[in-house]
Structures are given as C-alpha cells and as structure tokens.
Structure 1
Amino acid sequence: MCSEQIVQSNGVELCLETFGDRVDPAILLIAGAGSCLLSWDEEFCRRLADAGRFVIRYDNRDSGRSTSYEVGSPPYSLNDVVSDAVGLLDALAIDRAHAVGVSGGGAVTQLLALDHPDRVDTITLASTTPGGPGHEALDLPPMSSALAEAFSGEEPQQDWSDRTGVVESLVAFERLFAAQTVEFDAAASAEFWGRVFDRTVDIAAQMTNPFLIDAGEPWRARLGDIATPTLVLHGTEDPLFPYEHGLTLAKEIPRASFVAMKQTGHENPPRRVWDVVVPALLEHTSRRSS
C-alpha cells in the first residue's frame, strides 16, 4: 500500500509517501533542488518495495506539500535540509536507512554520510558532483554550452498562477537537461509537471528558493572520510554535471562502486535504465554499514 502523511521534522512539516512493509530495510529517496516526491516515479518505488524494501519518498521543505517560505527569502541552509532528512527518520522511528539522493539530493546524501554516519547503512549518489552543487570544481568539465547560454540570459518574468504557462516553461526547462540521443517526450513531461503544479503549495517557491540557499563550507576534501558503502549512478549524457563528475565522485569516495546510466541526462533514473538501476540498488541496499 502507498500512504501519504505529514510529519514534523526539525521544526518544519514534511510530506511523505511510503511503499512496502515497515519491517523491511528502509530506502530514503531524496529529491533534487526544485523537485518534489513525484520525481521518484511511483512504479520505480513499487519495484523496490516489491523486492523487500520499505521505500520513502518525500517533499523537501519549499517543495510539494511541505513547509514553504516567501519566494526569494529562504530562511534555511543546506545543512538544515540535511537535518530535515534525519528528523524525518526520527519521525518514522527508523534508526538507519539506505539514502538515495539525486542532484542536490546527492549533496544532502553526501553530508548525511559525513555528518550523520550512524543514520545511513549505505548511500547512493545519482546525477551529482563531488562536494555538491554550488561549489566550483574547476578541475572537472563545465556544464554544456547550451545550458550555460540558457543560464546566462535574462530570466523572463513568470506568472506562477498560470498553470499552462508554468507547465510549458518547466517542460522547456526539463528539455535542456535531457539526453540528446533519445527523443524527448514532451507530452509525458507536461503531464508530470501538471501533476507537480496541482499538488504544490507554492510552485514559485519550489522553483526559486532551493537554488538560493547557503550550501555551507565546501566538503569535497572530506569525501575520503566516507566509510559508508557508496554507489554512484551517473548519466553518460549529463549536461549539468558531465560524466566525469560521477566518475570522479566514485574515485574520491573509498571503495565506491559506479554504474553508468546510458542515454541519460541530468535526471532521476529514467525508465529505460531501471532494469540496470533497480538491481544495482537492491544489491547495494542488501549491505549494512559496519
């Protein structure tokens, strides 16, 4: 069964859904900045749950149905988002979980392993970079020229109350991050962003505030201290954090394993790689941190 609930965590309300049996090993899915729990496809969650995992997907603060703040003035830092994840586990009476983070959620997951190693049995880092977004990695390839050009232009004014206009903008935004060797499914993207719009407390806050928060002190130099079993998943066509970011992340974390997501851009694992990613996650989460 799938259930949705609001829990108190670290002074905020977080909305979550669970899949599977609570007695099974817990997998905590952590979405990226600007994303909500829907970014973890329901069927993806069910595949993991059907294989004997208790799967949790949730809205970070300023996304979905969780606590939201005034646009442009988020009164919290990345470390608060990390503490939110710990508080969520406390609210569910879960001592340890397998944390899986994508993009900005991968930054949160790195910090969980560094600062709260007693709460994670394993970590999985998908579509992210050593040290996390917001910290320059000058030794690694930059974002694609197309993304750089898009980000360098003047941002158009968005009427966040206009569902049609918002969905169209978010589909165009998602297209920039997609793999180039497969056809982009604009209809599926529009359906997804429509669902996101319809359940989100403040879509403007979701698409603005998480990108403004303080990421704190750089931690790339600390990656060698991670003792938690680590799996790195990375798209071969990631335009934001090119493939070398994933390879380097796996190299800088002791004994980390690496799985390439072919024909994948900067995104949650798409359906076309589930037959590779799901078995890799199940094998990885069968381990326990020593």
Structure 2
Amino acid sequence: MSAAAAVPYHPPRMATVGEVDLCYDAFGDPDAPPMLLIMGLGFQLIHWPEDFCRQLAAEGFRVVRFDNRDAGRSTHLPGRRYTLEDMADDAVGLLDALGVDSAHIVGASLGGMIAQTMAIRHPRRVRSLASLMSTPGRRGKGRTSLRVFRHALARPPRTEEEAIERRVRVFSLIGSTGFDQDLDELRRVSALAFERDPDARDGRRRQHRAVRAAPDRTEALHLLTVPTVVIHGTADLMCHPSGGHATAEAIPGARLVLVPGMGHDLPRGAWPLLIRAIMDNTGRAGGR
C-alpha cells in the first residue's frame, strides 16, 4: 500500500461560520500541520481530486477541503450580495471552527483570489500561500478568452446527463492541452457535483458578482510577507497566464511556477510538479 493510499480520510461535516454553514472533509493526521484548500467559482470540494489531497496529506499535512458559500452542500444565499472579503472571512471562520490558529492556504482560480484576500486581511492566519491559476484583480491581467464565454450563455443543465456532457464540453476547451484528460473521472465527478448541488448556476452567478465587485488587490499584495508560490498553466484560457505573472510580481519574494500545457484544471500528469511546488513553499515557512 502506498503512503497516499494509507492516509486516513475524515468524512464530510458541517461547520457553522457566522451566517453560513460550510461543508468540509479532511485527509491525514488531525495533529499534522493544517493545509486548507479553496476551490474556484461554482466548484465544490470534490473538485480537489481525492488522490491529489491524499498525496498532499502523505507529505505530512492535515488537508482540509470545503464548499464555499453558494456551492455544494454549504449554505446558498439566494437574493444576497456578498464580497470576496466575506468569502475570505468564511475560510478564516472555518479555521476557527477547526481550532486552527493558522494554516497553509492553497487556492485555485476564485479560490486563489480568496486565499490572497485572506493573506491581506488575516496575515497571521496564513502560514504559506499558494495561488493557482488566479489573478490579483488587476485590470487586463488574467483575462478569459472570448472562446470560453459562449459556454456561459448556454442554458443551465436540467438533468444529470446534461450537466455531465456540458462539463465535458467546457473542459475540452479550458482543460489542459499538454496532459491526458481522464474523461471517465470528469464524468464521475460531474455527476457527483450535480447530485450535491443541482441548482449550482444561481450560486455561481452570485460568486461571480463578488469577483466583479472586488477591487484590485495589487497594492495590498505588495505588503505581504508570507512565503508565496504562484502556479499557472501556460495553456489556461479561463485565466490568462498574465494573471499569474501579475500575482507573482505583486507579492514580495513570490515564486512563479509556469506549467507547460496546463489549462484551467488539475490534470494528474501535472500533480508531481504542483505538489513539489506547494511543498517547497511550505518548507519556506517551516511547513512540516
């Protein structure tokens, strides 16, 4: 049995954080240094691949993933407006609920924006920061390709089968061109995502509204002292690599890791590089 396969899994639970309940699960020794994974817009905790989480935990961490507000099994807020600051405070509140003073924070896409905002608002709660396929909110940086927008205009899926096929079409465009794509796994996770949150589109719109209302974080990021790695795929059509360059330039001492052929996803073939980059960064903070 591999070290990753032997990592204990702690099933989903709910944590009450202010006005929302957040669904989370965890991998690894509860007494190990904590690592919090924050997923992107409209995505759920299950979109952090389980094997990827196990491999991170096998490096000596307690890895926690969770559904953001308005996603998955966490509280949905129809008719409400909120900000990235609110979402960052959710993540800090989850650390409180877990009895964790500080954690290594890893965020992807919108999750990277939330992670950056956590580090700005709550620097003592962030041991290290990994910002994946994201942007500092600087105008003109990290733009989405016009080829992607037609998918946003499609009608919402009404059945599980429609949800699966739509996700396959989307990731044929925004997924990694330089790595094999596991379509069976993509379909499996898409079916599970539809089961967990069949009305995800409304929540995704409210999350997107929070992104659009967020200010440019560049100047605030200049003040960070947390060890940071910025990871971005060179084939990302959802968030142009200029977003990664701008993030790394904004944060003093940040290391930029560009992954050739990686798009706006987490292909298995890129995991060794991603995990090593994250581990090296936690090491800069005395991570293990």
Determine the C-alpha separation between the residues in 1 that align with 2:118 and 2:142.
26
- Specify the code of the residue in structure 2 equivalent to 1:221: E
> Which of 62, 72, 76 is matched with 1:64 structurally?
72
TM-superposed deviation, 1:55: 0.4
SS at match of 1:208: helix
What CA deviation, in whole Å up to 9, does each residue of 1:172-231 have, x standing for no partner? 223221133445444432222001111226433344332223633322222211111100
Aligned twin of 1:96: 102
Aligned twin of 2:122: 116
SS at match of 1:83: helix
Q: How many residues align?
A: 277
Determine the C-alpha separation between the residues in 2 that align with 1:277 and 1:157.
34
TM-superposed deviation, 1:283: 2.1
- Specify the code of the residue in structure 2 equivalent to 1:50: A
TM-superposed deviation, 1:109: 0.7
Aligned twin of 2:3: none
Contact 2:143–2:243, Cα closer than 8 Å, also in 1: no
What CA deviation, in whole Å up to 9, does each residue of 1:90-145 have, x standing for no partner? 000000000000000110011111110010011000000123xxxx523x474334
TM-superposed deviation, 1:17: 0.5
- Which stretch of structure 1 is more off in the superposition, 14-23 or 276-285? 276-285
TM-superposed deviation, 1:159: 4.6
SS at match of 1:250: helix
- Within 5 A, what are the aligned runs for 1:131-150? 131=137, 137-138=139-140, 140=141, 142-148=143-149, 150=151
Aligned twin of 2:26: 18
Determine the C-alpha separation between the residues in 2 that align with 1:122 and 1:66.
25
The structure-2 alpha-carbon separation of the partners of 1:182 and 1:274, relative to structure 1 and needing over 3 Å to count, comes to closer
SS at match of 1:69: coil
> Which of 259, 266, 271 is matched with 1:274 structurally?
271
What CA deviation, in whole Å up to 9, does each residue of 1:38-89 have, x standing for no partner? 111111111111111010000001111110122xx33322211111000000
2:135 corresponds to 1:129: yes
Determine the C-alpha separation between the residues in 1 that align with 2:87 and 2:22.
11
The structure-2 alpha-carbon separation of the partners of 1:159 and 1:150, relative to structure 1 and needing over 3 Å to count, comes to closer
Aligned twin of 1:239: 237
Determine the C-alpha separation between the residues in 1 that align with 2:105 and 2:43.
17
TM-superposed deviation, 1:150: 5.0
- Within 5 A, what are the aligned runs for 1:1-290? 1-3=8-10, 4-70=12-78, 73-131=79-137, 137-138=139-140, 140=141, 142-148=143-149, 150=151, 155-160=153-158, 162-182=159-179, 184-200=181-197, 202-213=199-210, 215-267=213-265, 269-288=266-285
Q: Over aligned residues, Cα RMSD in angstroms?
A: 2.0
TM-score after normalising by structure 1 = 0.88
- Which stretch of structure 1 is more off in the superposition, 256-265 or 174-183? 174-183
Aligned twin of 2:4: none
Runs of at least 5 residues in structure 2 that lack an aligned partner in the other structure: 1-7
The structure-2 alpha-carbon separation of the partners of 1:258 and 1:49, relative to structure 1 and needing over 3 Å to count, comes to same
The structure-2 alpha-carbon separation of the partners of 1:173 and 1:120, relative to structure 1 and needing over 3 Å to count, comes to same
TM-superposed deviation, 1:247: 2.0
Identity of matched residues, % = 33
TM-superposed deviation, 1:253: 0.9
- Which stretch of structure 1 is more off in the superposition, 221-230 or 108-117? 221-230
Runs of at least 5 residues in structure 1 that lack an aligned partner in the other structure: none
